[in-house]
Structure 1
Amino acid sequence: MLIVILLIALMVWGLVWALVDVRRDGYRQRATDWSRVAGHDDALQRAESTTTYR
């Protein structure tokens, strides 16, 4: 009986820890940083980042 109680306690601890870890994993939805998206072409941003003058 003691082993069953220990296994149940270990299972509960593992489930709680898994839920906490999933919440802290960093893969939640975030706002898109459009300056890092491939194919996003902003003429003003491109003009400000160049070193040559027109």
Structure 2
Amino acid sequence: MFIVIVLLALSLWGAVWAIVDVRRDGYGQRATDWSRVAGREDDALQRAESMTAYR
């Protein structure tokens, strides 16, 4: 019975720690830094983003 309790406690601790770690790892929505994206020097989408009105 002691081993079962220890295993349950370790499982609970591992599950809680996994949730905490996933929340801290920085995985989530971030704004894209377009200056670091390759191949966007003369891109139509970049020009469209900088325009105030679309056709």
- Superposition CA RMSD, Å: 1.3
Q: Which runs of 4+ in 1 moved over 3 A?
A: none
Structure 2, unmatched stretches of 5+, are 43-55
> Which digits, 9 at most, give the CA deviation of each residue in 1:2-54, with x for residues without a partner?
11111101100000001111111122120101111111116xxxxxxxxxxxx
Which has the higher Rg, Structure 1 or Structure 2?
1
Q: Partners of 2:7 and 2:27 in 1: how far apart? A: 31
Sequence identity (%) = 76
TM-score, normalised relative to structure 2? 0.66
Structure 1, unmatched stretches of 5+, are 43-54
TM-score, normalised relative to structure 1? 0.67
> 2:23 aligns to what?
23
